[in-house]
Structure 1
Amino acid sequence: MASVETFWEAGHKITGHDVDGSLSLGYRRFRAFFGTSPLVCVVAWDIMSMTRPTTSRPKHLLWALLLLKRYSVEDVNAALTGVSEKTFRKWSHIFINLLADMPVLCWEDRFRSAPRDASTFISLDGTDFKIMEPSDFDPKWWSHKFNGPGLRYEVGICIRTGDIVWAHGGLPCGEWPDLRLARNAIIAALRPGEKIIADRGYNDQNFFDVPNGNADLQKKQILARHETVNKRIKQFCCLNFRFRHSLHLHPRFFHAVVNLTQLMNQNGEPLYSVNF
């Protein structure tokens, strides 16, 4: 059974930090290389206990985290881990897929801590990620947020707990504005009369509650907290830098990072609470 110490020692074989040295420096360096804590590594490892290959080792999970967090080129990853590029690629991609498939997000958790008469349970926001320029220019890929080609996703957060309960997308930014993306899936998942707090990009009063001036300060605070989640997701360089792998892999990287972010919420790094 893998422990926090297992991942601490295996991780610092890659970072080069002396495991008997400064704890605070060790934790900063571990997070700088892997994007999360040894505790979350253990939690993820245990969740994958029935799905990971029998020949897998904790270091293979760390390789996946290294790719997600640092997003270095393959020869650098191979040098850091002391294996061939082919071996690093094999195991890192196996574990990125396993991370993406973890049953971490729960849509029904949006009701947690809500009063009985509530009709609004989540906030929703679209976020864009940079991709390589397609060979032929097509405006369907264009994101106005960074003036370049990208993929758009939406993330839903429980208002009262801060848990991530929804993640969907991976579609061309220019072709899929926020409201169209929401209509593609999440609206059909709502209960009758249920509404979502969102920004002005979601101009449909039937399903969305948009802040309107200073009177809606609480809703603005909820959306501001949502930006904190977007920043946590994009601290993984695979989603902050321009994605250079095949586009079909982007949703796997995205869902792996979202699941990790939620595990961090649940294991010592919760979002700040808001009153609503």
Structure 2
Amino acid sequence: MSLQYTSSHIWNELLGSFIKLASPHIGKSPLSYHRHQDLWDRRFVAHFGLTVHSAVDVWQIVENFFKKYRLLKIHYLWALHYLKVYPTEAVAAAKFNTSESNWRDKVYHSITCFGFMDEIHFEDRFEQWSCTQPSCYVDGVDMMVSEARPLDKDLFSHKFKRAGYRYQVAVALGTSKIVYVGGGVPCGKWPDLKLVRQTLLKHIEPHEKVAADQGYVGDP
């Protein structure tokens, strides 16, 4: 469903724009969207983590933040792809036909823009989902930053083998919505388990549990 404050005409224009932008990256023609919408949605979700309709809705929320950083719709898709697929710089830069440094810069600032959203609600983890064990899925996301001089071991990311900052992102299991973002801390100083204990786990109910990968072994 499109946001109420945006006219259907503008929303449909945005939908068409994102269909054209995403088309070469998911291997589907823009003209095939209305004939094969289910397949289109599956491809879009596989690459960007949400349907193209949801991508339009989220864009409407973050658009002004992106404009402030002089970011475009394609950079928004780069960031969604990064959060979904977690590619290396070389792979992502080749996929989107850009330089590694440009991709890294645009994705970093795009995710900063996501952090300005006030429409992220932790209670949305129970939308179309009634289970409390698990109630949502959490994962750590590292963002590369410029190396400090002299080198600072507190910034070291084992995922990238270089400096980075770490975030915790929780996703609803019933809707795939982002329901929590926390962190923005030096990777080397904040392993995933320590960070989730200081952020997300402080907000869940006593009987509640979250799903995570093996990097979070240590909490029941």
- Band the TM-score falls in, shorter-chain normalisation: 0.5 to 0.7
- Aligned counterpart, 1:146: 160
Shift of the 25–151 alpha-carbon distance from structure 1 to 2, 3 Å rule, reads farther
Q: Report sequence identity in percent.
A: 28
Residue 126 (structure 1) aligns with: 140
Q: 1:39 to 1:60 in 2, by over 3 A?
A: farther
Whole-angstrom CA distance in 2 between matches of 1:62 and 1:41: 19
Contact 2:138 2:168 in 1 (8 A): yes
Equivalent-residue separation in structure 1 for 2:119 and 2:203 (angstroms): 18
Equivalent of 1:23 in 18, 26, 30? 30
Matched, 1:204 2:218: yes
TM-superposition CA deviations, 1:61-96 (whole Å, max 9, x none): 9943344536968xx9xxxxxxxxxxxxxxxx8x98
Q: Does 1:169 align with 2:179?
A: no
Q: Match of 1:166, SS?
A: strand
Q: State the SS of the aligned residue for 1:136.
A: coil
Does the residue aligned with 2:147 lie in a helix, a strand or coil?
A: coil
Q: Secondary structure at the match of 2:215?
A: coil
Taking structure 1 as the reference length, what is the TM-score of the superposition? Answer: 0.46
Instruction: State TM-score, norm by structure 2.
Output: 0.56
3-state SS in 2 of match to 1:197: coil
Distance 1:37 1:191, change over 3 A: closer
Deviation at 1:42, TM superposition (A): 5.0
User: Which structure 2 residue ranges, 5 or more long, are not aligned?
Assistant: 1-6, 22-28, 34-39, 79-95, 103-108
Partner of residue 88, structure 2? none
Q: What is the CA deviation profile of residues 21-71 of structure 1, one whole-angstrom value per residue up to 9, with x for unaligned ones? A: x73499x9xx9xxx899855753465479xx59xxxxx9899433445369
Report the Cα offset of residue 166 of structure 1. 1.5
Change (3 A) 1:5 1:62: farther
Cross-structure match for 1:191: 205
1:195 is paired with a residue whose SS is coil
Conservation of the 8 A alpha-carbon contact between 2:15 and 2:56: yes
Q: What is the aligned partner in structure 2 of residue 19 from structure 1?
A: none
Highest RCO, 1 vs 2 (Cα 8 Å, sep ≥ 6):
1
- Number of equivalences: 171
Distance 2:181 2:171 in 1: 9
Q: Tell me, yes or no, if the aligned pair for 2:183 and 2:199 is still in contact at 8 Å.
A: no
Distance 1:123 1:104 in 2: 18
